[in-house]
Amino acid sequence: MSSSIFESSKEVFVDVVNHKDYVQLDRVSTIYQSLKYSIKKPLKMILLFGKPGTGKSMFLTKLYNDISSTQPVYLYQTPILDESEFYKTLAQDIYGTKYMGELNFTQFMKIVENNSLDSIPIVLLDEAQLYSDVLMEKIRLLSDTRTIKFVITLHKTEKEDLIAKEHFQTRIWETIELENSSLAELKIYIQKKLMKANCFDTANMFTNKTVQKIYKFTNGNYRDTNKLLYTLFEIYTIYEKDHKLSSIGTSQISTKIIEMAAIHTGLVDA
């Protein structure tokens, strides 16, 4: 094996959101196409929710990159928590209007009313559970005007389920739920990510048995899987540098190393 193969494989699982890292799985692809289709429907708002690590941010980033060349779309990955700054950012990005000083909801609505656009802008808001109830209510009211369409992500917890019901139950909106991968999907996900980066040797090291072991610790959560595999290949890199690969073998991923990575990442208690 190449001396850098484990280092290269480690970089595949760096925990960053990049639309180029999107992995095509049948169920995920179907959900994503549903999201793209929903954008074209006369919906005021679209809610994308799921547990942390199920790919919500990736979906928004991919959606932005897929449609930004054909329609006005704005992605806010980091919540703008100050209400005035939120309106000022929207006014600048959507209408090209710079506003000095504080900008409240009523003033922003006047900007909306005084500007006509060829097509309805789409605003993608990630981590919407961090916005205040007051601002979420204003976003809801803004979506009612049908001048801006919002796609928002929420973590799936009992609290956020309640937020969704309270804010959106009387609105025309669509809910798209993301879930952890199945065991079979997890193997495809791991191998496709590695093969996209030309790490074919390490991709072939993942057998049904080793993936089952990984699934036991991550339950198919993409973020946890990425963290575990980043650490796993880091351990392999250390073994390689110390010339100890023969002790663990390279024909398939070592269950011992999987356990070490799970302990190191806090997915299991030592």
**Residues 85-141 pLDDT 10s:** 999 999 999 999 898 899 999 999 999 999 988 889 999 999 998 999 899 889 988
Do residue 78 and residue 189 come from a single domain? no
Look at 58 and 209; give whichever has higher pLDDT.
209
Do residue 86 and residue 71 come from a single domain? yes
The predicted structure's pLDDT at residue 2:
45
Q: Considering 145, 163, 178, which residue would you say is the last residue of a domain?
A: 178
Number of domains comprising the chain: 2
Do residue 53 and residue 96 come from a single domain? yes
Does residue 66 register a pLDDT over 50? yes
- How much is the average pLDDT of 213-225? 95
Looking at every residue in the chain, the average pLDDT score rounds to: 87
Do residue 10 and residue 66 come from a single domain? no
Q: Which domain holds residue 164?
A: 26-178
Do residue 129 and residue 202 come from a single domain? no
Do residue 197 and residue 257 come from a single domain? yes
CB 31 within 8 A of CB 56: no
Do residue 96 and residue 167 come from a single domain? yes
Q: Give the residue among 79, 100, 98, 92 at the shortest CA–CA distance from 121.
A: 92
Domain presence at residue 270: no
| Three-state DSSP state, 213 | helix
Do residue 49 and residue 127 come from a single domain? yes
Residues whose CB falls within 8 Å of the CB of residue 123, separated by 6 or more in sequence, listed in order: 73, 74, 76, 90, 94, 148, 149, 150, 151
CA atoms of 203 and 66, how far apart (whole Å): 28
**Residues 178-216 pLDDT 10s:** 899 999 999 999 999 999 999 999 999 999 999 999 999
For helices 133-144 and 105-113, angle between their N-to-C axes, nearest 10 degrees = 20
- How much is the average pLDDT of 37-56? 85
**Residues 225-254 pLDDT 10s:** 999 999 999 999 999 888 888 888 789 999
**H helices then E strands: how many in the chain?**
12, 5
The predicted structure's pLDDT at residue 27:
80
Do residue 95 and residue 167 come from a single domain? yes
The predicted structure's pLDDT at residue 162:
57
Q: Considering 135, 153, 178, which residue would you say is the last residue of a domain?
A: 178
Do residue 92 and residue 112 come from a single domain? yes
pLDDT over 70 percentage in the chain: 89
Q: Considering 178, 194, 221, which residue would you say is the last residue of a domain?
A: 178
The predicted structure's pLDDT at residue 185:
93
User: Which CATH number fits the domain that encloses residue 86?
Assistant: 3.40.50.300
- Among the residue ranges 25-29, 154-158, 261-265, the one predicted with the least confidence is 154-158
Q: What is the dihedral of CA 88, 90, 92, 96, to 10 degrees?
A: -140
pLDDT over 90 percentage in the chain: 56
Domain presence at residue 207: yes
The predicted structure's pLDDT at residue 186:
95
Domain presence at residue 194: yes
pLDDT band at 1 (very low <50, low <70, confident <90, very high): very low
